[in-house]
Amino acid sequence: MGPDLVFFLLFISISCVTCWSDNGRRHQYDYCVLGAGPAGLQMGYFLSRARRDYIILERSSGPGSFFHRFPRHRKLISINKIHTGSANKEFNLRHDWNSLLSDKSSLLFKRLSSEFYPPADTYPLYLSIFQKELGLKVQYGVDIRNVRAVQMATGVQYLLTDQQASELQCSTLLVATGLWVPQKVDFVGSELVEGYESISTNPEDYKDQTVLILGKGNSAFETAQSIMGRASFVHMLSPSPVRLAWQTHYVGDLRAVNNDLLDTYQLKSLDGLAEANLENIVIAHLKDGDSKKPEKKKKDKKKKKKKLYPRLNKFLLKQEGGKNTSEVSAEELSKYHIDNFSLREPYDRIIRCLGFRFNFSIFHSSARLQNSENAKGRLPSVTAWYEGENSPGLFVLGTAAHSRDYRQSAGGFIHGFRYTVRAVHRVLEYRNHRNPWTSTKLMTSQLQSWILKRVNEVSGLYQMVEVLGDVVLLQGSQCEYVEEFPIQALPQFTSLSGHKVSLQGLIVIIMQYGKKVTDTLGPDRARQINWTTAWRSSFLHPVLYHYDTLPTEEEMRLRPKNWALPRPKAIHHVVEDFLTNWQRPLSHIQPLQRFLEHCLQADLRSFYAESCFQSSLTHRRPPLFCQQGYLKQQGIQHVARPIERVQFSGLMPTKQDGVSSGPDPALANFLAQAGTPVSPGLRLDL
Amino acid sequence: MSTDPHRMLVKSRVCFMAALLLLVELGECAEKTNSSELHQFTAVEFYDKLHSGKMMFVYFELQVSPTISLFLAELAKSAEVLQDYGVLVGKADCSKEAIYSYCTDQRQLHTAFLFRGGKEFLGLNLDTVFDVNSIVSEVLFAILREEVKYVHTDADLLAMEKSARGQKDLVLGYVSSLGTQEHRSIMETAYVYGSKYQFILITGGPVLKHLGINETSQSSQVWFLHCQRHSGPRLTSVHCPLTRMKKPLTIISLHSFLQLMEAPLVSEVHEDPTVVPPPQFPYQDTPQVFVFSRPETHHLDLDTATALAWRLRGIATLLLVHRQSPAVKTPDHYNLAYRRPQKSLEVKFVTLHNIDEVLEILSHEEQEAEEEKDGGEEEEDEEDIELHFGSLSDEIAASVYNNRDTFLDMDSITELTSENFHTVVAQSDLTVVLFYLKWDAVSITVLESFIEIADRFADSEVPGVQLCSVDCSEWTDLCSTEVGDSSPFPFQPIISFPTVLMLRPKEAAQHYSGMLGIMALHRFIMLSCQASPVTLSSQEEVTSFLQEVHHPELLGPKPDRMLGLFNTPTNEGVAVFFEAAKSLRGTVLTGLVTGTLAEKWAADQQVELPAVLVFPSWGRHTGPTTLSMSSSAEELLTSISSALLHPLPELTVESLPSVLSVDKGLLLLFVGEEEDEAGLRQNQLLLEEMRKVVELGGDKMEAYVACWIHLGRTPAGLSVLGSYLGSMPPLPALFLTHSPSTDEIYQYPPSTPIRAASVVQWLQRIQDGAEPAAGMLGADTWPPSGKFYDFLKVMDTEEPGSAQQQEPEEEEEEEEDKERVKGKMKNTEVTGSSFSSSSSAAAAHTHSEL
Say yes or no: B509 and B527 in one domain: no
pLDDT surpasses 80 at A557? yes
Among chain A residues, the shortest Cα distance to B387 is held by A532
Q: What is the pLDDT of residue A683?
A: 33
- In angstroms, the separation between the Cα of residue B11 and the nearest Cα of chain A is 50
Residue B595 has pLDDT above 50, yes or no: yes
Lowest average pLDDT, out of A55-64, A492-501, B29-38, B528-537, goes to B29-38
Of B589, B624, B652, at which residue does a domain stop? B652
Interface test with B, best of A51, A337, A449, A576 (most B CBs within 10 A): A449
Residue in chain B closest to A340 (alpha carbons) equals B835
On the question of pLDDT at A171 being above 80, the answer is: yes
The sign one gets for the Cα dihedral B759, B761, B764, B768 is negative
Beta-carbon separation of B688 and A446 below 8 A: no
Cα–Cα dist A436/A417, whole Å: 21
A85: chain B residues, CB-CB within 8 Å: none
User: CA B731, CA A682: separation in Å to the nearest integer?
Assistant: 9
pLDDT at A643 over 50: no
Tell me which chain A residues have a C-beta less than 8 angstroms from the C-beta of B720.
613-614, 617-618
Cis before A436 (ω within 30): no
| Upper half-sphere CA count for residue A208 (Cβ side, 13 Å) | 1
Q: Tell me the mean pLDDT in the region B149-158.
A: 81
- Residue-level pLDDT at A404: 94
Residues B443 and B501 occupy one common structural domain = yes
Per the domain annotation, does B10 fall within a domain?
yes
Position B538 in a domain: yes
- How many Cβ pairs within 8 Å bridge chains A and B? 388
Average pLDDT over residues B52-81: 85
Q: In the prediction, which pLDDT does A118 show?
A: 95
Question: Do B9 and B122 belong to one domain?
Answer: yes
CB B480 within 8 A of CB B494: yes
> Domain tally for chain B?
5
Strands A478-486 and A468-475: antiparallel
Chain B residues close to A603, C-beta within 8 Å: 782-785
> pLDDT: is A232 or B812 the higher one?
A232
Query: Which residues are CB-neighbours of B527 under 8 A, at least 6 positions away?
Result: B554, B559, B585, B586, B587, B588, B589
Q: Give the domain-ending residue among B625, B652, B679.
A: B652
Domain co-membership, B434 together with B472: yes
DSSP string, B310-360: HHHTTT-EEEEEETTSTT----TT--EEEE-TTT-SPEEEE--SSHHHHHH
Work out the minimum CA distance from B337 to partner chain A, whole angstroms.
Answer: 22
Does some domain include residue B38?
A: yes
A343-352, B346-355, B562-571, B609-618: least confident range: B346-355
A116-to-A259, A460, B720 alpha-carbon distances in Å = 17, 21, 63
Quick check: helix, strand or coil at residue B540? Answer: helix
Longest dimension (CA), chain B: 140
Specify the pLDDT at position B241: 80
This prediction's pTM: 0.70
Q: Do B808 and A636 touch (CB under 8 A)?
A: no
Compare CB distances from B388 to A273, A532, A595 and report the shortest one's residue.
Answer: A532
Best of A620, A652, A660, A661 to mutate (most B CBs within 10 Å, chain B): A620
Query: What homologous superfamily does CATH list for A27-179+357-426?
Result: FAD/NAD(P)-binding domain (3.50.50.60)
Best CA proximity match to B832, nearest among A229, A242, A336: A242
Going by pLDDT thresholds of 50, 70 and 90, the confidence category of residue B104 is confident
Helix (H) or strand (E) holding A182: strand A181-182
Q: Which of A84-93, A328-337, B612-621 shows the lowest per-residue confidence on average (mean pLDDT)?
A: A328-337
Burial track B246-265 (b if 16+ CB lie within 10 A, e otherwise): eeebbbbbbbbbbebbebeb
Q: How is domain A190-289+304-352 classified at the CATH fold level? A: FAD/NAD(P)-binding domain (3.50.50)
Over range B796-823, report the average pLDDT: 67
Asked whether residue B157 is assigned to any structural domain, the reply reads no
B460 CA: distance to closest CA in chain A (Å): 14
- Could you report how far apart the first and last alpha carbons of chain B are, in Å? 83
Q: How far is residue B589's CA from residue B748's CA, in Å, rounded to a whole number?
A: 40
* Tens digits of residue pLDDT in A202-222: 999 999 999 999 999 999 999
Q: Does residue B116 share a domain with residue B17?
A: yes
pLDDT digits (tens, 9 = 90+) for A490-511: 999 999 999 999 999 999 999 9
Cβ-based contacts of A609 with chain B (< 8 Å): 515, 517, 653-654
Same domain, yes or no: B400 and B480: yes
Q: What is the pLDDT of residue B456?
A: 87
Do B251 and B222 contact (CB within 8 A), yes or no? no
Per the CB < 8 Å rule, is A667 touching B520? no
Nearest to A344 by CA among A335, A356, A352: A335
Q: Which residue of A has its CA nearest to B732?
A: A681
Contact A274 B833 (CB under 8 A): yes
CB B627 within 8 A of CB B636: yes
Q: Please compute, for residue B588, the number of CA atoms within 13 A of its CA located in the half-sphere on the CB side.
A: 28
Q: From the list A273, A572, A667, which residue is nearest B791 (CB)?
A: A572
Alpha carbon distance B224, B315 (integer Å): 13
Instruction: Determine whether the interchain pair B829/A276 forms a contact, defined as Cβ–Cβ distance below 8 Å.
Output: yes
pLDDT of the residue at A315: 66
Of all residues in chain A, what percent carry a pLDDT higher than 70?
Answer: 83
Does B508 share its domain with B520? no
Least trusted range by pLDDT, from B31-35, B221-225, B700-704: B31-35
Mean pLDDT in chain A?
Answer: 84
- CA separation (Å) from A60 to A40, A363, B345, B551, B713? 13, 19, 85, 72, 79
- Whether B536 maps to a domain, the answer reads yes
B674–A650 C-beta distance less than 8 A: yes
Report CA B392 to chain centroid distance, whole Å.
7
Over residues A3-30, mean pLDDT: 54
C-beta atoms of A532 and B805 within 8 A: no
Q: What is the mean pLDDT of residues A364-388?
A: 93
If pLDDT is split at 50, 70 and 90, which confidence band does B553 have? Answer: low
> Which residues, 6+ apart, have CB-to-CB distance to A221 below 8 Å?
A236, A254, A258, A259, A261
Residue ranges of chain A that CATH labels 3.50.50.60 = 27-179+357-426, 190-289+304-352
Q: Which of B496, B622, B666 sits opposite A661 (nearest CB)?
A: B622
Residue A323's pLDDT band (cuts 50, 70, 90): low
Same structural domain for residues B20 and B124?
yes
What band does B237 get if pLDDT is binned at 50, 70 and 90? low
Residue B293 falls within a domain, yes or no? yes
**Would you call B20 exposed, middle or buried from its count of C-beta atoms within 10 A (0-12, 13-18, 19+)?**
middle
B-chain residues near A571 (CB < 8 A): 791-792, 803
Residue B240 confidence (pLDDT): 80
Q: Which residues pair with B510 in a beta bridge?
A: B502
- Indicate the range of A68-82, A339-353, A512-526, B167-181 predicted with least confidence: A512-526
Q: Identify the pLDDT of residue B269.
A: 85
Query: Is B830–A274 a contact, with Cβ atoms under 8 angstroms apart?
Result: yes
CB contact under 8 A, A606 and B394: yes
From B518, B517, B406, select the one nearest B457 (Cα to Cα).
Answer: B518
Per DSSP, what are the bridge partners of residue B21? Answer: none
Per-residue pLDDT, averaged over B280-289, amounts to 78
Q: In the sheet where A194-195 sits, what is the strand order?
A: A194-195, A349-352, A210-214, A233-238, A272-275
CB B290 within 8 A of CB B273: yes
Distance CA A189, CA A284 (A): 6
**Same domain assignment for residues B543 and B459:** no
Structural domain boundaries, residue B833 = 791-849
Which residue from B613, B581, B577, B575 is spatially nearest to B597, judged by alpha carbons? B613
B574 lies in the same domain as B510: no
What's the average model confidence in pLDDT over A638-644? Answer: 51
Question: Average pLDDT, whole number, for chain B?
Answer: 79
Picking from A597, A668, A683, the nearest residue to B785 by CB comes out as A597
pLDDT of residue B153: 79
A449 chain-B contacts, CB cut-off 8 A: 437, 440, 442-443, 497
From the list B443, B448, B777, the residue facing A618 with the nearest CB is B777
- Nearest by CB to residue A453, choosing from B437, B685, B750, is B437
Q: How far is B480 from chain A (nearest CA, A)?
A: 10
Return left, alpha or beta for A412; rule: phi > 0 is left, psi -120 to 50 is alpha, else beta: alpha
Q: Which of B306, B310, B277 is nearest to B293 (CA)?
A: B306
| Residue A237, min C-alpha distance to chain B (Å) | 9
pLDDT over threshold 60, residue B518 = yes
CB contact under 8 A, B653 and A573: no
In chain A, count of helices (H) and strands (E)? 20, 24
Q: Which range among A10-19, A106-115, B659-668, B792-801 shows the weakest confidence by mean pLDDT?
A: A10-19
Strands (E), A438-555: 439-443, 468-475, 478-486, 506-512, 541-547
Q: Give the percent of chain B with pLDDT over 90.
A: 14
Reply yes or no on whether the pLDDT at A298 is more than 90.
Answer: no
Distance of CA A398 to the CA centre of its chain: 9
Peptide bond into A623 cis (omega under 30): no
Q: Kindly indicate the confidence band of residue B814, based on its pLDDT and cuts at 50, 70 and 90.
A: very low
For helices B9-23 and B181-193, angle between their N-to-C axes, nearest 10 degrees: 130
User: B332 with B433, same domain?
Assistant: no
DSSP 3-state of B830: coil
Q: How confident is the model at residue A363 (pLDDT cuts 50, 70, 90)?
A: very high
- In a shared domain, residues B272 and B370: yes
CATH of the domain at B368: 3.40.30.10
The pLDDT-based confidence of A330 (bands split at 50, 70, 90) is low
Cβ distance B584 to B531 under 8 Å? no
Flag whether pLDDT at B373 surpasses 70.
no
- Could B804 and A567 be called an inter-chain contact, meaning their C-beta atoms sit closer than 8 Å? yes
Q: Is B542 left (phi over 0), alpha (psi -120 to 50) or beta?
A: alpha
Distance of CA B713 to the CA centre of its chain: 30
Rg (CA), chain B: 43
Q: For residue A626, what is the DSSP state?
A: H
Say if residue B301's pLDDT is above 90. Answer: no
Please compute the mean of the pLDDT values over residues A531-554 and round it to a whole number: 93
For A590, which of B394, B651, B795 is closest by C-beta distance?
B394
Separation in Å, CA of A486 to nearest CA in chain B? 19
B730 falls within a domain: no
Using alpha carbons, select from B119, B50, B55 the residue that is nearest to residue B84: B55
Cα-Cα-Cα-Cα torsion B389, B393, B399, B404, nearest 10 degrees, comes to: -30
Residues of chain B with pLDDT > 70, as a percent, come to 83
Is residue B109, in this structure, part of any structural domain at all? yes
pLDDT tens digits for B155-198? 788 888 888 887 888 898 888 888 888 889 888 888 888 888 88
**Do the chains contact at B777 and A620, CB–CB below 8 Å?**
yes
Name every residue whose Cβ is closer than 8 Å to that of residue B659 and which is 6 or more positions away in sequence. B649, B651, B666, B705, B707
Pairing of strands B625-628, B611-615: antiparallel
Contact A251, A413 (CB under 8 A): yes
Determine whether the interchain pair B476/A438 forms a contact, defined as Cβ–Cβ distance below 8 Å. no
**Bigger pLDDT: A27 vs A614:** A614
Closest partner residue to A272 (CB to CB) among B418, B743, B833 is B833
| pLDDT tens-digit series, residues B375-418 | 434 444 444 444 444 578 888 988 888 887 777 888 889 999 98
Give the lowest-confidence range in B47-51, B209-213, B731-735.
B209-213
Tell me whether strands B704-710 and B665-671 are parallel, antiparallel or unpaired: parallel
Task: Find the range with the poorest average confidence among A420-434, B152-166, B472-486, B672-686.
Answer: B472-486
- When CB atoms are compared, the residue of A318, A606, A680 closest to B396 is A606
B26 pLDDT more than 80: no
> What pLDDT is attached to residue A526?
61
Cα dihedral: B142, B143, B147, B153 (round 10)? -10
- Is residue A596 over pLDDT 90? yes
Beta carbons of A567 and B617 less than 8 Å apart: no
Distance CA A250, CA A679 (A): 79
- B169: closest CA of chain A, how far (Å): 36
Query: What is the DSSP pairing of strand B775-776 with strand A387-388?
Result: unpaired
Of B483, B724, B832, the CB nearest to A274: B832
d(CA A407, CA A374) in angstroms, rounded, equals 9
Whether residues B484 and A49 touch (CB distance < 8 A) is answered with yes
DSSP codes joined into one string, B795-821: HHHHSTTTTSPPPTTHHHHHHHHHHHH
Contact A276, B828 (CB under 8 A): yes
Nearest to A639 among B445, B691, B795 (CB): B445
